[in-house]
Chains A and B, each alone.
Chain A
Amino acid sequence: METYLAMRNITKIYDSSNVIANDDVNLEIRKGEIHALVGENGAGKSTLMKILYGMEQPDSGQIMINGKEVKISSPIAANAQGLGMVHQHFKLVKEFTVAQNVVLGKEPKRGGFLFDNHRATKEVAAVIEQNNFHISADTKISELSVGQMQQVEIIKMLYRKADILILDEPTSVLTEQEIQRLFETLRRLVSQGKTIIIITHKLAEVKGISDRITVMRNGKVVAVKETKDVDEHEISRLMVGKRIVFDFQREEGFCLDPVLTMRDVSVVRKRQKRPLLDRVNLAASTCEIVGITGVAGNGLTELEDVISGLMPVTSGTVFHNDDDITDMTAMQLRDRGFSYVPTDRLNRGSSIQTSIKENMIVTSHHDYLNKSGVFNREKISTHVKGLISEYLIDGSEHAPIGTLSGGNIQKVILARELERVKDFILFSEPTWGLDVASSDFIYEKILEVRERGVAVIIISSNIDEVLALADKVMVMYRGRVVLDREISEELTREFIGEYMLGLKDDFADTRVDAEGDSEGEK
């Protein structure tokens, strides 16, 4: 098959952190293939795609489409070349309809300047029809599931007549079934003549969907293979470089004193019938990891916010040891020694324009003052440098955190939170979007902190992660706890999955009221 798109000798250096993100990288994409770009976080695959999509400019190198060199100075220019990108974090306006989101920036106009909603809906509906999606063009985004939002992103690119679709970590937010549906969609698009580049580090998916693979490591391409010629172990070896063997050894708990207890905690939002959290009971004890899982939208986020003190509860009580901490603010909880690694690393977990140093001291800056209330710079610097080397963070203390890769940002947050941990820590989606090596590093740290006797809660939509780490597994469905069991052989992916989808409920008989919700299943 002929080469459709080629990136030649691409080099990109971020001068603020002096990281060589891409080092003389070559990438060739053939017409009509699904090409997997794999590598760990920080391997340079996102940078490469940002260059291709015009969001970053390379320091050197060229991009060829159909043998002709093209200059791509912005995403708009990329669109014009037939490129479309679906970002890991969706860029959708929740209050707009599907059609309004899809046409945003290329709106059909009436009389030259009025937005033609009718035509927008009709045109988008046609695109949806052609490509066999099952969404209605006039639904509001806020009513869609995560998988459907992703479809909207794809439709957006198809509406812009994209021939080459770039998907950045498309499966990280999807459930098992949604992933299967996405793959069907991708195969259908390819059969219609589209070309697809998929950035991922989930090996099973690479094997399942792609035709060819380009593996990146440390900013370089280390291998280009036909998918059928390699197995998952081989890909993993290429990605990581050296093989990391990690065994989740579980020791028997011996010191189970409750640290954080929630009793009948509910959160109800005004004008909403179904509570966001519905009489949740939970206990996290010393030397114990509680793993809480569920499908997005079933109360995991609210639980995270309540435990971290960022969302007030409507009723119920929360205890820390024997103290009632129900209405305490995040600040008061911090004073009690709570540590917390949030899901939203970029907005909540860090301040992206601020340096690593200033990010690292946010919870502890009171400790670095001399008598007159002025920072002791040397002490801070020593402390931060220590953490940077201990957690193998790739960046200097003055580098703004926004210039780091996802894995490194998470390490900065982890370093800060573990550094101060006392008797309780909350992790929410600790490895979301991270590669194998970074994830293992984080798992290691989580187990280490449990060894020290700390009570750990992990909220994660990743079942495997929960099963691998937790001593106690809980499942949330529609704001309720539907499963709360000690870990055992019985708890398998499939078993948990039935609870996640609401097919089973251990506590069904304890709920007196009948199912009164009017909302149907999706």
Chain B
Amino acid sequence: MILPTLELMQKGIVKVKNNRSSNMFVSLAGLGITLGIAFFVMFIMIFIMSDTPKDTIYYFFAGPLTNKYYFGNMLNAAIPLMLTGLGISFAFRASMFNLGGEGQVYIGGLAAASVCLSLPGLPGFIGIPLSLAAAVAAGALVAGLSGYFKFKWSTDELISSFLISNALIYIVDNIITGVLQDPESSLLTSRKLAEQFWFLKIFPPSNLDISIVFIVVLAFLAYFYLFKTHQGYEMRICGLNPEFARYGGINVKKYFLLPMVLSGGFHGMAGAVSVMGTQHMLFKGFSGGMGWNGIAVALIARNNPLAVIPSALFFAYLEAGAKSAMINADITIEIASVVQAVVFYLITAQAIYSFVQRRRRKA
């Protein structure tokens, strides 16, 4: 789990797309250089900390790609990250700091599981959309609450979303280990969902399910909404300069609420997809890090919904690599996380981008 600093987050959202082609070049060249540096640092760290650096590096980089099972699972792990990344992108574009992703994912999972568990006789084609809707609504409601507080009393959404989310986690924990606890299991988990609610596996033996296709489409829709529709325009303008938006006759307060609702909806869906697609049950703490990692994914993607796709894949790749190196070589989970964190910090560092930009100006 990586907690990005506020400063980094703000930097992430103030950057905007200026001149298209030159900006694209700067972004790509910047990303190339950063990745180069990041991996170089990673090599050095592995050489210092591992007794079998060659193996470690091999499993870190190639591990996730060596067989269908690892590869499919890596893609599968990217699914909820895409959703939370999209959710954060929306909020950050509107300058709304949704720090409650973790709780929103969790409650989304609870909502989906509750529908499936309480109506086990429902056919899949009704039950799946219904549970998804419940999850989206639950996430949207929770995040929307923070938006509403800001709308009504100018409460700082950064604090309120974080606090609400933290409180929720304990409540959901309590429900899982109480009402929903599977009496036949010794684990802290609910009963298994009925099989008709499970998502279709498309890449056996891995866990990858059909939802990835829909979510990629969703990312395109999100991009379209943000950049081609008038609501998306108003939302972005409110995020960039609320004074100007107000002056121009945009209902600024509406965009305290709307982006939070959308953001929460995406997070809720991430919870549902993870429960119905992968775990098929609701176990305590299943959301571990999805919400926080969504912030990382959105930052790498610079809050661009299309860039969220590769960004989530990259993040999942790093996770899978770390896991594979841990299992097959001699590094511990802590070291794997440190390596991951270094890569992440380097990628979000703006300095390299502005360096490329300056160089380009001179050229």
Using CB atoms and an 8 Å cutoff, list the residues of chain A in contact with chain B.
15-16, 57, 59, 308, 310, 330-331, 333-335, 340, 342, 347-355, 358, 361-363, 365-366, 368-369, 373-375, 377, 398-400
Contacts and interface: CB of A to CB of B under 8 A. Distances in A.
B154 interface: no
Interface in B241-277: 241, 243-251
Interface in B196-244: 224, 228-231, 233-234, 237, 240-241, 243-244
B24 interface: no
B248 A334 contact: yes
A330 B247 contact: yes
Contacts of B362: 57, 59
Contacts of B249: 330-331, 333-335, 362-363
A16 B19 contact: yes
B245 A362 contact: yes
A331 B251 contact: yes
Contacts of B358: 57
Interface string B17-55: 011101000000000000000000000000000000000
B229 A349 contact: no
B230 A310 contact: no
Given A59-B361, A365-B234, 4 more contacts: A330-B247, A369-B229, A374-B224, A398-B20
B326 to A, nearest CB: 43
Contact of A348 (B14, B234, B240, B244): B244
27 contacts: A15-B22, A16-B22, A57-B361, A308-B247, A330-B246, A330-B249, A331-B249, A331-B250, A334-B249, A347-B244, A348-B243, A348-B247, A349-B244, A351-B237, A351-B241, A353-B16, A353-B18, A354-B16, A354-B237, A354-B240, A354-B241, A358-B233, A363-B248, A365-B230, A365-B234, A373-B229, A375-B233
A353 B240 contact: yes
Contact of A351 (B18, B228, B240, B251): B240
B244 A351 contact: yes
Nearest to A416: B248
- On chain B, which size bracket covers the interface? 20 to 34
B229 A342 contact: no
A374 B22 contact: no
Interface string B324-363: 0000000000000000000000000000000000101110
B229 A310 contact: no
Nearest to A372: B229
Nearest to A399: B19
Given A59-B362, A398-B19, A398-B20, A362 B240 contact: no
B244 A350 contact: yes
Contact of A374 (B14, B229, B250): B229
Contacts of A400: 16, 18-19
Contacts of A342: 247
Interface of B: 14, 16, 18-20, 22, 224, 228-231, 233-234, 237, 240-241, 243-251, 358, 360-362
* B241, B246, B249, B251 — most chain A CB neighbours (10 Å): B249
Contacts of B229: 369, 373-375
A362 B244 contact: yes
A338 B19 CA distance: 32
B303 to A, nearest CB: 13
B246 A365 contact: no
A113 B240 CA distance: 36
Contact of A349 (B14, B18, B247): B247
Contact of A362 (B250, B251, B360): B250
A374 B19 CA distance: 22
A347 B240 CA distance: 10
Contacts of B16: 353-354, 400
A377 B362 CA distance: 33
B233 A310 contact: no
Nearest to A338: B249
Contacts of B360: 15
Contacts of B245: 351, 362
Nearest to B247: A348
A334 B19 CA distance: 30
Contact of B247 (A310, A368, A369): A310
A58 to B, nearest CB: 10
Contact of A373 (B19, B230, B237, B251): B230
Contacts of B18: 16, 353, 355, 400
A347 B19 contact: no
Contacts of B247: 308, 310, 330, 340, 342, 348-349
Contacts of A363: 248-249
A377 B224 CA distance: 13
Nearest to B249: A334
Nearest to B224: A374
B244 A310 contact: no
Nearest to A361: B233
B243 A347 contact: yes
B84 to A, nearest CB: 26
Contacts of B233: 358, 361, 365, 375
B110 to A, nearest CB: 33
B237 A358 contact: yes
A362 B249 CA distance: 8
B244 A373 contact: no
A71 to B, nearest CB: 14
A65 to B, nearest CB: 23
A184 B249 CA distance: 46
B20 A373 contact: no
Contacts of A349: 244, 247
Nearest to A354: B240
A400 B224 CA distance: 21
A310 B246 contact: yes
A412 B241 CA distance: 17
Given A354-B240, A374-B228, A362 B248 contact: yes
Contacts of A373: 229-231
A352 to B, nearest CB: 8
A404 B183 CA distance: 69
A333 B18 CA distance: 31
A277 to B, nearest CB: 20
B212 to A, nearest CB: 26
B53 to A, nearest CB: 40
